[in-house]
Amino acid sequence: MDPTTILPVVAAAIASLFMAWVIGAGSSGATPFAPAVGADAIATMRAAFVVGILGFAGAVTQGGNVSAAVGRGLVDGVTLPVAGVIIVLLVGAGLMAIGIRTGYPIATAFTVTGSVIGVGLALGGTPVPSTSLEIGAVWLLTPVVGGGIAFAIASVLPRPDVPESWSIPLLVAIVGAVLANVGFAFLGPTGDSGSIAAAVAGVLREWVGSRGAASVLVGGATLPLGPVAATVGIATALAALVRWDVSRDETGGLRRVLLGLGALVAFSAGGSQVGLAVGPLLPLFDAVESVPTVAILVGGGLGILVGSWTGAPRMIGSLAREYSSLGPRRSIAALVPSFLIAQLAVLLGVPVSFNEIVVSAMVGSGAAVGGWNAVDPRKIGFTILAWIASFAVAFLLGYGIALAAI
């Protein structure tokens, strides 16, 4: 790297760390364990400590897809210079910091995406239609799908004809099956991304000594038998463990399920949100082979960790008061779709807002408790307007500042 560019790149890296800190201190550091804190399953400071560790782990092992999309997939025909990267990160982080300070629900994914596109267009780039359509579809469908799943789950859990010794283990089995098949860095055969199910199947195949390529038909698709069997085994084992726990101690079992889901959402938040902080940096280091992507993800993960430890406790306490009215069952109903949508976004490489994911799930879960009359349309409308404004303001600021300064 040219010595004259080192200082600007260092400045961009500092801006990225600030963005990562804001993400950790904001919704991605607060929402995963807020339901558990509201249900008195874990103390606020301990929740902040745990969510920081899990967010860091998720950032390092799952952050590659979203980081690549944010850094290289939003604008075509132009590579953001160092000054453009700094503008993107400062606009996104600045708006998020204002939201945290004032209590406005600013969406991180919307601010960063808007500022990247704004700066890119100001420099002569063009949006990528396929990526824009995919992101737009996910953003539009998240409230419908997340809120709908949460509503359905919350409607079933308290029914006397659906014993929780069966319904809760079934939910855990579904979550476990998804978890077994999501991608994790370093689990692949050559150190690349791979799933737990595939890794377990590979170990068992070597242990048994089978070299066959057995397959099974699932939903019209032919899949390798080993990963399918491993998925079924993992899901069944988790469901059996939870059923034993809930049957033995219903209150304690529900709290432990809630903590487990909170941990998975915290992990997913790190994998999804780190891309918003470090994605814009990736093009700057494309020509520097001595700086691998994983090192950049580690830096972003550390920023999220510090943000969670130093800034998240206040927001966790605030959100927990809203979740406390839901109770553990409704909180479980909100966290299950939050985990599923977050992992889908990681798989697709789409930047998503955890504000949008969790708020939508909370609305769906809460509506199942007291009906739609219990939902405040004014508050929901204000939140949606804040999300739209997050993107619009970030786009305009990014475009205007880049046009004037670069």
pLDDT at residue 212, as a whole number: 46
Q: How far apart are CA 247 and CA 166, in angstroms?
A: 9
Residues 137-156 have a mean pLDDT of 92
Of residues 153, 134, 174, 204, the one with CA closest to residue 347: 134
| Residue 288 pLDDT exceeds 70 | no
Question: What SS3 class is residue 348?
Answer: helix
| Residue 339 pLDDT exceeds 90 | yes
| Residue 13 pLDDT exceeds 50 | yes
pLDDT, one tens digit per residue, over 21-72 is 988 887 677 778 877 787 777 888 898 899 999 999 999 999 888 988 898 8
Of the CA atoms within 13 Å of residue 328, those in its CB half-sphere come to 20
pLDDT, one tens digit per residue, over 306-330 is 999 988 887 777 776 665 567 788 8
Residue in the structure block whose two tokens are 């046009």: 403
Q: 138: Cβ–Cβ under 8 A, 6 or more apart, which residues?
A: 344, 345, 348, 350, 352
Residue 301's pLDDT band (cuts 50, 70, 90): very high
| Residue 260 pLDDT exceeds 90 | yes
Cα 280 to chain centroid distance, Å, stands at 18
| Residue 204 pLDDT exceeds 60 | yes
pLDDT at residue 1, as a whole number: 54
